[in-house]
Amino acid sequence: MRIISADSGAALLNERFEATSIVAAVAVLVEPPYRLAKTCISEPIFSTVANSHELIVHELELCQALLKETRADVVHLDMSFGGLLLEELSPIQLSNISSRARGYVLKILPKLRKIAADVKRVYGVEVLAIGKDSVPVRIAELTAAASAVLYAAEKAVDEKRMVRLGMPSKCYARKVENGVMVHSLTPAEHDIAGFAADREAVLEKITFSELLNPVARGFRALEFTPNSARLL
Amino acid sequence: MRIISADSGAALLNERFEATSIVAAVAVLVEPPYRLAKTCISEPIFSTVANSHELIVHELELCQALLKETRADVVHLDMSFGGLLLEELSPIQLSNISSRARGYVLKILPKLRKIAADVKRVYGVEVLAIGKDSVPVRIAELTAAASAVLYAAEKAVDEKRMVRLGMPSKCYARKVENGVMVHSLTPAEHDIAGFAADREAVLEKITFSELLNPVARGFRALEFTPNSARLL
Amino acid sequence: MRIISADSGAALLNERFEATSIVAAVAVLVEPPYRLAKTCISEPIFSTVANSHELIVHELELCQALLKETRADVVHLDMSFGGLLLEELSPIQLSNISSRARGYVLKILPKLRKIAADVKRVYGVEVLAIGKDSVPVRIAELTAAASAVLYAAEKAVDEKRMVRLGMPSKCYARKVENGVMVHSLTPAEHDIAGFAADREAVLEKITFSELLNPVARGFRALEFTPNSARLL
């Protein structure tokens, strides 16, 4: 199966290690053996955390954009409804989630269903609300985190100050020859990762160190310091 | 403690990575330090997934068969009721599980209690409904998966076609000199594994590759291709 | 942030691998990158498991004692109430925990709030009921386990008999040059550990072997045998 998926991820953290804005959104194409994205679209979003429940609409738009470029068999969306088809998702199926979450979902459901219907009509592909069960969704999350590393590094260089980035759950970033890899630390996911190419060599302009988020077990953070600032 | 346990495991997967039949059942004897089976009985079952809730009766029969061959202090069954004695398990204790699961358990409980009473009378050994808390149950699951690798390989050879096997949660298979090892990838279980001896050298007749189950995070799959088919 | 935290941990196990008494209590000071205690206070407690819910009061007293020696920004207590300030914790906030747990908490809450008020007044530091979300609480747990290894070894030497110690969830002990390290095996915590210095060289007087707790997946145990006993 060729699967397209999307996610938004990695967050700027304040001095109390609380997330303030979501840094990157990506759509990925994943093929067997389902370990790394084959192709991806990525963009910096720096979207306030308060609106993060609306990001899912943009994620589906990114999937649609990727479908323009490449063929796929199915789309996996980061909404955890047991793999239901998005077009079958109705208010009734939402009865067993919290009323707050239901409010969010109901607000965006019409937009999501409209895009899903377009995707079905134009490309003949179904959109599944599979979320946490999906390996491609996890690969999208790690790929978003890899892109976010570059965007956060760029921000540190541009603003000449330290930037702190909170990574997604159970993963870590590693600088590689031509970019950054974010590897999963979840059990049985040791060979799953996300990659972002550092075309502007922004990682040469900063130093980053890793630490644990002290108030969120399982989450690691990176602190980016521009090299120019270090010399001052 | 010498502990006897049993489990059924690994499943054939269709092209959508859904389980269609359970491949193997085993009973194991486990001793300190509780890392690998000391002895085991194993059999191919290829039982339809729809009936998988009835497999527990057969698992207890396999424990009984193993008790004929070797002494043990206790039997651990793969039913998660906090380590209750099977003979004390009554409909009242089932009040806090789902009505569907309760229906299944009530259907098989009389048979289970009868075998447990026999086991107690003949061997003086208690049967515990301990399930997910038990390390021997996990070792039985991994041992069943190791046997299933051989049975699935055999099936691929016999039927001259690719066979896809879904492994149990958080583990991976590795070919070793005289058989196959299935190692746990669960945290703090890095030294727990299951083994099956490849007496017929069936692994010489196939090639297998590992991939991730894209619709079930934490689950890995194996694809067996008969070597003869590859040459065609 | 400089964070002070405390925990009690590791338990003596009987022949059925059930915990009988909690061995050690510690308070730790943790600084970025939040991987190991910078300073700690540790004591053997050998407290019966039945009273373990009262240990939290003593843990907070240990934090207070550590604050006399060193400065910190905040105290993390091993009570899981989402990071609420202890002084804001009221019976109303306890409405969504089990009535048994609520009973325990209500019994100790007055003492906890009194100490927390003292800590605030004297050191200007808040006490958070953050529990399982806190990395410093985990480091305290691993540090308590490292101390418990030494106390249990001492007990085996003094009483000239085998002592079995149950370790906290998902960790393992390793003898190092001048003491013992307890490393986390939780995903994404591979670089978190606790340390205890073996000043009396008690580890030279015993042999210890590791095994899995067969009735509690994820928990490992150590068996300490005095070397003198082995020569007999």
Chain A nearest-CA residue for C31: A214
Average pLDDT over residues A146-163: 97
pLDDT, tens digit, for every residue of A92-121?
777 778 888 888 888 999 999 999 999 999
| Chain C contact present for A169, CB below 8 A | yes
Identify the DSSP state of B161.
S
Q: What is the pLDDT of residue C59?
A: 97
Q: State residue C19 phi and psi, 5-degree precision.
A: -70, 135
3 state DSSP class of A173:
strand
| Strands of C163-202, DSSP E | 163-169, 171-176, 179-184, 193-197
State the Cα–Cα distance between residues B131 and B154, nearest whole angstrom.
Answer: 30
| Chain A contact present for B106, CB below 8 A | no
Inter-axis angle of helices B55-69 and B99-123, nearest 10: 10
Asked if residue A230 has pLDDT above 60, the reply is: no
Shortest Cα–Cα distance, C155 to chain A (Å):
33
Shortest Cα–Cα distance, C37 to chain A (Å):
13
| Chain B contact present for C209, CB below 8 A | yes
Alpha-carbon distances, residue A88 vs A83, A143, C40 (angstroms): 11, 29, 56
The answer to whether the complex's ipTM is over 0.85 is: yes
State the Cα–Cα distance between residues A70 and A3, nearest whole angstrom.
Answer: 11
Site from C77, C132, C135 to mutate, A interface, most A CB atoms within 10 angstroms: C135
State the Cα–Cα distance between residues B126 and B193, nearest whole angstrom.
Answer: 25
User: Cβ separation of B135 and C211 shorter than 8 Å?
Assistant: no
| Strands of chain C, DSSP E | 3-13, 19-30, 37-48, 74-77, 84-85, 126-129, 163-169, 171-176, 179-184, 193-197, 206-212, 219-226
Q: Which chains touch B (3 or more CB pairs under 8 A)?
A: A, C
User: Which of A34, A132, A187 lies closest to B212 in CB terms?
Assistant: A34
C-beta neighbour count of B182 within 10 angstroms:
26
Q: Please, which residues have CB within 8 angstroms of residue A46's CB and are 6 or more apart in sequence?
A: A12, A21, A22, A23, A151
Tell me the DSSP string of B27-60.
EEEE-TT-SS-SEEEEEEEEEEGGGGGGHHHHHH
Going residue by residue through chain B, which has 232 residues, state the pLDDT in tens, using 9 for 90 and above. 999 999 999 999 999 999 999 999 999 999 999 999 999 999 999 999 888 888 999 999 999 999 999 999 999 999 988 888 888 887 777 777 788 888 888 899 999 999 999 999 999 999 999 999 999 999 999 999 999 999 999 999 999 999 999 999 999 999 999 999 999 999 999 999 999 999 999 999 999 999 999 999 999 999 999 997 655 5
Bridge partners of A166, per DSSP, are A11, A221
**By the 8 A CB rule, do C156 and C226 touch?**
yes
Rg of chain C on CA atoms, in Å: 18
Q: What is the pLDDT of residue A62?
A: 98
| Chain B contact present for C162, CB below 8 A | no
| Chain C contact present for A217, CB below 8 A | yes
Q: What is the pLDDT of residue B56?
A: 95
Q: What is the pLDDT of residue C81?
A: 86
User: Cβ separation of B211 and A34 shorter than 8 Å?
Assistant: yes
Going residue by residue through chain C, which has 232 residues, state the pLDDT in tens, using 9 for 90 and above. 999 999 999 999 999 999 999 999 999 999 999 999 999 999 999 999 888 888 999 999 999 999 999 999 999 999 988 888 888 887 777 777 788 888 888 899 999 999 999 999 999 999 999 999 999 999 999 999 999 999 999 999 999 999 999 999 999 999 999 999 999 999 999 999 999 999 999 999 999 999 999 999 999 999 999 997 655 5
User: Cβ separation of C186 and B186 shorter than 8 Å?
Assistant: no
Chain B nearest-CA residue for A73: B16
| Chain C contact present for A98, CB below 8 A | no
**By the 8 A CB rule, do B133 and B3 touch?**
no
| Chain B contact present for C182, CB below 8 A | no
Identify the DSSP state of B166.
E
Q: Is the pTM of this model over 0.90?
A: yes
Q: Please, which residues have CB within 8 angstroms of residue B162's CB and are 6 or more apart in sequence?
A: B156, B223, B224, B225, B229
Asked if residue A57 has pLDDT above 90, the reply is: yes
User: In the Cβ-directed half-sphere of A31, how many Cα atoms lie within 13 Å?
Assistant: 6
pLDDT, tens digit, for every residue of C30-77?
999 999 999 999 999 999 988 888 899 999 999 999 999 999 999 999
Contacts of B162 in chain A (CB under 8 A): none
Contacts of C32 in chain A (CB under 8 A): 211, 214
User: Which of C210, C215, C218 lies closest to B33 in CB terms?
Assistant: C210
Chain B nearest-CA residue for C172: B188
Q: Amino acid letter at B98?
A: S
First vs last C-alpha separation in chain B: 53
Site from A171, A189, A190, A192 to mutate, B interface, most B CB atoms within 10 angstroms: A189
Shortest Cα–Cα distance, C134 to chain A (Å):
5
Chain C nearest-CA residue for A220: C188
3 state DSSP class of C14:
coil
